[in-house]
Amino acid sequence: DQQVKQNSPSLSVQEGRISILNCDYTNSMFDYFLWYKKYPAEGPTFLISISSIKDKNEDGRFTVFLNKSAKHLSLHIVPSQPGDSAVYFCAASTISGTYKYIFGTGTRLKVLA
């Protein structure tokens, strides 16, 4: 049973435009969400996170939005750059399992120059 889903395996965006990556979850107990970025042959690197008490968190070109009623979060990258081309994973955790992340299957973003 996959509790965190990223339904789009891939996404292509023109350089300078907005990239929107989506993530859905089923467990209403999740209260902390993260986005990780992964380049080939490297480990995932932390990008941005959001607590369930917020609906938006921004860090430079990256913004994460959380819609608790829809159990949906999204990552916006504006403007997109070729160096953003990578696989993006969303992850979720609960208060009772703060050390355990449940990861989605990832979305491969390709930013076209």
Partner 1 sequence: DTAVSQTPKYLVTQMGNDKSIKCEQNLGHDTMYWYKQDSKKFLKIMFSYNNKELIINETVPNRFSPKSPDKAHLNLHINSLELGDSAVYFCASSHKRASGRYNEQFFGPGTRLTVL
26 binds partner 1 (CB under 8 A): no
| Interface with partner 1, residue 49, by CB under 8 A | yes
Determine if 44 is a binding residue for partner 1 (CB under 8 A).
yes
Residues with Cβ within 8 Å of residue 29, at least 6 apart in sequence: 94, 95, 96
Q: Is 81 in the site for partner 1 (CB under 8 A)?
A: no
**Nearest 5°: CA angle at 106, between 25 and 104?**
30
Applying CB under 8 A, which of residues 64, 87, 92, 109 lies at the interface with partner 1?
87
From the list 15-23, 30-38, 62-70, 72-80, the region that binds partner 1 by CB under 8 A is 30-38
Taking a C-beta distance cutoff of 8 angstroms, is the pair 1, 68 a contact? no
Q: What DSSP character marks residue 37?
A: E
Q: Does 101 interact with partner 1 (rule: CB under 8 A)?
A: yes
Residue 49 DSSP SS3 = strand
The rounded distance, in Å, linking the Cα atoms of 27 and 59 is: 26
Binding site for partner 1 (CB under 8 A): 32, 34, 36, 41-46, 49, 87, 89, 98-103, 105-106
